[in-house]
Structure 1
Amino acid sequence: MHVIVATDGSRQSLAAAKELKRIADPSRIDDVTVVAVVSPLAAVSFANDLGGPLARKAKETQEPLSFRQEAHDATTVVMEQFEGWGPAVHRRIRSGSAAAEINKLAGELEADLIVLAAGGRGLSETILLGSTATRVQHSAPCPVLVVRPRRRPRKSS
């Protein structure tokens, strides 16, 4: 079984990777491919909230990272979730429309499952651009697991 885990650099996408690990049997998964898509047409091409080794180094040197480097860093953080879990883990950085590139990659790799977060980048982007999760679901060549953010317990007043 080949699983694609998509990240947009958000904490929700990291949570989706963790959810896969929580519910899946690693002995039934041969490969996990972590993919990030840099969108050349978006207002913010790739925003990495996850940090990672390149971001730490850039902070020390005070040099900004390119969007591609940010995507590489975000995939590194997600890939680290699968270290020692069992399946082989691969990275892919694509450029274009996130939903189209995720679905295209799933077809190329003959993936058995796509895992991604719902609502990774917030309401304003969803309204303006549409939901990547919704677009992936409608044209994916395989099943899609959409992980919604967990609700935080309410604090009592």
Structure 2
Amino acid sequence: MRNALLVLLAMVAAVFFLFIAANCDSNDDDDDDNDDDAGDDTNNGADDDDDDDNDDNDDNDDDTSPGDDDDDDDDDNDDEAIEQCMEECQDAYSTCEYDCETTQWFCESDCEFDYWDDPEGLAECYEVCAEAAADCIAVCDDAWETCWRDCYF
């Protein structure tokens, strides 16, 4: 019974880890698409590389030059994309953490049913549930850290 609960808990954690990782990867793809569109609109169809050439020829690096304005807009778009990605990472982490806690609650309920007349067995079962929940939360933590890094890089 305990092994089955541990396997179930591990499967739940793995699913959320994959969800978080896939969610952040899709945000990176969307962000790249926005950069390409922004580059095409501001340069009348030219590649983004042309922006870099314009910046090199600009002797004045104040915010009023056309090259700097394009870069500021890109930075604003990047900041918004990073913020949105971070919110999605936090939402996924909260869901993962909630599922770990819920699974622990069900595990402990099963313990109470299975060991209602065995206090030592009940305590041992609770310990197994707590360890499994801690492992589940650790997977959520690792997934959140990976998602967070994907938002910035």
Confirm or deny a common fold (TM above 0.5): no
Question: Bigger relative contact order, structure 1 or 2, given CA contacts below 8 A and separation 6+?
Answer: 2
- Structure with max Cα Rg: 2
Greater fraction of residues in strand: 1
Greater fraction of residues in helix: 2
Q: TM-score, normalised by structure 1?
A: 0.30
